[in-house]
Amino acid sequence: MVYFPIFPTFVTVMESNHHISGINPHFKVSVRKQKSADYYIHGLKSHNRFVLSECITLLESNLPEKRKIAEAVLNTIPFQNDTTIRIGITGSPGVGKSTFIEAFGLYLISQQHRPAILAIDPSSQINKGSILGDKTRMQHLSAHPDAYVRPSPSGAVLGGTSAFTKEAIQVCEAGGFDIIIVETVGVGQSETEVDHITDVNILLLQPGAGDDIQGIKRGIVENADIFVINKADGPQFELAKQTKVSYKNAIQLFHHDVPGWICPVILTSAMDKKGMDEVFQSIIGFINLLKKKELLNSKRKYQELRWFERQSLIRLKEIAFENNAIKSTYQQLSHEMSSGKLSATSAIHQFEEAFRKLIHNL
Ligand SMILES: Nc1nc2c(ncn2[C@@H]2O[C@H](COP(=O)(O)OP(=O)(O)O)[C@@H](O)[C@H]2O)c(=O)[nH]1
Ligand SMILES: [Mg+2]
């Protein structure tokens, strides 16, 4: 196997395609008839959950023929809907994100909302198509007719997690869900950052987390709009209260992007289903402030633009590497670098030369 140190995502895509084409490129198409874009569009419009699931599976596919249908669907359904709320929930593994979403989702249903949950957890294990942990933690919510829970493996999709999630949010909204919750670990993983796809971000913490606030990456704290200290129950309740004070003091040092917003720090117990109302009121407070300052639409427009910029670069890279000359030049240079014959600076220079030559000859 050729080692590609720089483009790991790209390599995964390329290699998986290679394996598929090595067996039989039309294998899947011949055994199962591909459903049309109209089938998905109609199913989403009639709020059919089964079709929504099929549509998200379609979005996860890297196969060009499926991608084409997915794009036809995405180009037909609305991409902006300002009556929906997109919530990002991040936090280290084990803080209780999935348990919290189970309690919060059920609370939202009691308030006549229809929540859809996209759980993208790189630490989750995939087993028989579902992700262990997340769905079991969201047992009641998963089974509820007014909710939709979709765990997705991260990194397995074309263009990275955020591209897939952005599209999945769009189809969930088209499928009749008005509150979309995205669960990610979001700690230091650039492709799992949800702040470019959601309206409001919640950082989930657990009692004691305030002790190491200095160690928490500045970016993560800065991207949060609401802090939730979960597991504020039983013997940990007192510690949770102290953690709340530490956070309240610490976040005063950070400047929030939205003028006038002071990040609330809320105690919850997902296990005892406590604090859900306060979290929801804070979310509504934040959304109302964004709307009042006419920032909600501009935030989403900016996210669209940013997404376009990021995705076009990813596409550009993929298209470039479809060219054999570019691919072999890259492999050759990597090879020379690993055997110590070439410095990165000259490899970059040579690669750029080869690329320019190719483009100018087109
Ligand atoms: N005591 C207590 N435990 C909780 C609470 N929320 C979650 N947990 C436990 O924390 C562990 C991790 O929860 P999980 O929801 O999978 O965390 P995630 O990795 O952030 O999604 C599980 O054992 C949960 O039962 C809570 O509010 N109180
Ligand atoms: Mg989880």
Cα of 97 from ligand 1 centre, angstroms: 7
The structure tokens listed for 74 are: 């995405």
pLDDT exceeds 90 at position 263: yes
Across-strand partners of 182? 88, 118
**Is 184 near ligand 1, meaning CB less than 6 Å away?**
no
3-state secondary structure of 213: helix
**Global model pTM greater than 0.75:** yes
**Is 99 near ligand 1, meaning CB less than 6 Å away?**
yes
The structure tokens listed for 235 are: 């013997």
Report the alpha-carbon distance of residue 128 to residue 50 in Å, rounded: 18
> Across 83-92, 119-128, 275-284, which has the greatest mean pLDDT?
275-284
215-230 pLDDT, tens digit each: 555 556 677 899 999 9
Predicted pLDDT of residue 186: 58
Cα of 181 from ligand 2 centre, angstroms: 12
Q: What is the mean pLDDT of the chain?
A: 82
Closest to 286 (Cα-Cα) out of 306, 256, 307, 243: 256
Predicted pLDDT of residue 154: 57
Predicted pLDDT of residue 133: 56
Predicted pLDDT of residue 327: 93
Q: With bands split at pLDDT 50, 70 and 90, how would you rate the model's confidence at 82?
A: confident
| Phi, psi for residue 117 in degrees, rounded to 5 | -115, 125
Cα of 269 from ligand 1 centre, angstroms: 9
Q: Which long-range contacts (CB under 8 A, 24 or more apart) does 333-340 make?
A: 334/2, 334/3, 334/4, 334/5, 335/2, 338/3
pLDDT exceeds 50 at position 128: no
Cα of 107 from ligand 1 centre, angstroms: 17
Per the document, the length of the chain is 362
Give me the torsion for CA of 186, 172, 39, 58, rounded to 10°.
10
pLDDT exceeds 80 at position 362: no
AA identity, residue 340: G
183-211 pLDDT, tens digit each: 887 555 544 466 678 999 999 999 986 55
Tally of CB atoms within 10 A around 318: 16
Report the alpha-carbon distance of residue 117 to residue 260 in Å, rounded: 29
Q: What is the helix (H) or strand (E) element at residue 28, kind and residue range?
A: helix 27-31
Report the alpha-carbon distance of residue 89 to residue 100 in Å, rounded: 9
Q: With bands split at pLDDT 50, 70 and 90, how would you rate the model's confidence at 165?
A: confident
- Nearest-atom index, ligand 1, CA of 270: 27
Report the alpha-carbon distance of residue 197 to residue 34 in Å, rounded: 29
Which residue among 89, 92, 95, 99 is best mutated to probe the pocket of ligand 1, counting the most ligand atoms within 8 A of its Cβ?
99
Cα of 95 from ligand 1 centre, angstroms: 6
**Is 95 near ligand 1, meaning CB less than 6 Å away?**
yes
**Is 230 near ligand 1, meaning CB less than 6 Å away?**
yes
1-26 pLDDT, tens digit each: 333 333 333 333 333 334 444 455 55
| Residue having the nearest C-alpha atom to atom 2 of ligand 1 | 231
Closest to 104 (Cα-Cα) out of 240, 200, 175, 173: 200
Q: What is the helix (H) or strand (E) element at residue 151, kind and residue range?
A: strand 148-152
| Residue having the nearest C-alpha atom to atom 8 of ligand 1 | 96
Burial group, residue 174, by CB count within 10 angstroms (0-12, 13-18, 19+): buried
The structure tokens listed for 122 are: 């790189």
In this predicted model, which residue has the larger pLDDT, 116 or 355?
Answer: 116
Mean pLDDT of 297-305: 89
14-63 pLDDT, tens digit each: 333 344 444 555 545 445 678 999 999 999 999 999 999 999 999 988 88
Report the alpha-carbon distance of residue 346 to residue 36 in Å, rounded: 49
Across-strand partners of 152? 120
**Is 274 near ligand 1, meaning CB less than 6 Å away?**
no
pLDDT exceeds 70 at position 157: no
**Is 151 near ligand 1, meaning CB less than 6 Å away?**
no
**Is 114 near ligand 1, meaning CB less than 6 Å away?**
no
**Is 228 near ligand 1, meaning CB less than 6 Å away?**
no
348-358 pLDDT, tens digit each: 999 999 889 88
The count of C-alpha atoms lying within 13 angstroms of the C-alpha of 129, restricted to the half-sphere facing its C-beta, is 4
Q: With bands split at pLDDT 50, 70 and 90, how would you rate the model's confidence at 160?
A: low
Cα of 79 from ligand 1 centre, angstroms: 34
pLDDT exceeds 60 at position 325: yes
AA identity, residue 79: F
Q: What is the helix (H) or strand (E) element at residue 43, kind and residue range?
A: helix 37-45
Cα of 304 from ligand 2 centre, angstroms: 27
**Is 269 near ligand 1, meaning CB less than 6 Å away?**
yes
Burial group, residue 345, by CB count within 10 angstroms (0-12, 13-18, 19+): exposed
pLDDT exceeds 80 at position 101: yes
Domains, in order of start, for the chain: 85-293 (3.40.50.300)
Q: Specify whether the backbone of 56 is left (phi greater than 0), alpha (psi in -120 to 50) or beta.
A: alpha
Q: With bands split at pLDDT 50, 70 and 90, how would you rate the model's confidence at 81?
A: confident
Predicted pLDDT of residue 127: 46
pLDDT exceeds 90 at position 145: yes
